[in-house]
Copies of this chain bind each other. A is one copy, B any other.
Amino acid sequence: MVVVERIQEMKDIVKKLRKEGKTIGFVPTMGYLHEGHLSLVRKSKSQNDITIMSIFVNPIQFGPNEDYDRYPRDFERDKNLAEKEGVDYVFYPSVKEMYPDDFKTVVSVKKITDIMCGKSRPGHFDGVATVVLKLFNIVNPDRAYFGQKDAQQLVVIKQMVKDLNLDVEIVPCPIVREEDGLAMSSRNTYLSGDERKSATVLYRALNLAKDLIEKGERNVSKLKKAMEDLILKEKYTRIDYIEFVNYDTFEPISKVEGKVLIALAVFVGTTRLIDNIVVEV
């Protein structure tokens, strides 16, 4: 496995691989790898000749009062995990390399970013779209792998790829969960022992909604209320949002119909966690 820190070097490697006719799978990450990331690597390896992983904690997708500085980082650990999993290249640029002092360009995907995480974290998805476009231009992949956990991110990236006429195929991968249902996230390391117990309530609330829907409930207000009650019974919790959207249009709905994404963000202590499920009726 080769670690590449410079953009031009990464581009030169990719150009050579392309000339040799190799297909390239790309797994963009912010590091502090967990099973979720590794499942993306496995998927990429099953579909491409070469797998490139990027590890870059992207400053411009964090708000001024968010956790950019304390976001967990451990490159040696990540490098070992990536190597064991069979990653061919790790692209590991510095912030200066990605954003030189005179950097001035922003990529925005409108409308679908007005709700959910886009509403709670202004500018977040501009930062995501901008860095992902840069990474796509550097790595030039045939396919790129994203976890369903960041459901809105996935929709934003797909829209950007379509709108900007990029050739990369976006491959969504299922959420990987701990045994008790908590969706894997690098941010889970922030949780204290007690908070960690409370954190299972996100997935339980999603499953509660699913059960109620299976029993015939279609009213989104009532479903939200039931989820809220369950979440707020738990210690340390504060709800950021609970949202029901049409799976295809990403527009909020008031009645459950067709394919629906149920998504939520909950603070457990000071840690903001997200999760989601898809239901179809």
Contacts and interface: CB of A to CB of B under 8 A. Distances in A.
Interface in A147-164: 159-160, 163-164
B105 A108 contact: yes
A138 B106 CA distance: 20
A133 interface: yes
Interface stretch (A28-36, A38-46, A109-117, A185-193): A109-117
B108 A163 contact: no
A150 B11 CA distance: 31
A7 interface: yes
Nearest to A103: B163
Kindly report how many copies of this chain are found in the complex they form together: 2
B105 A105 contact: no
Interface in A109-139: 109-112, 129, 133-134, 137-138
Chain A contact surface mostly: mixed
Contacts of A166: 137
Contact of A112 (B104, B129, B137): B104
22 contacts: A11-B165, A102-B159, A103-B163, A104-B109, A104-B110, A104-B112, A104-B163, A105-B108, A105-B109, A105-B110, A105-B129, A105-B159, A105-B164, A106-B110, A107-B107, A107-B108, A134-B163, A137-B164, A137-B165, A137-B166, A137-B167, A138-B165
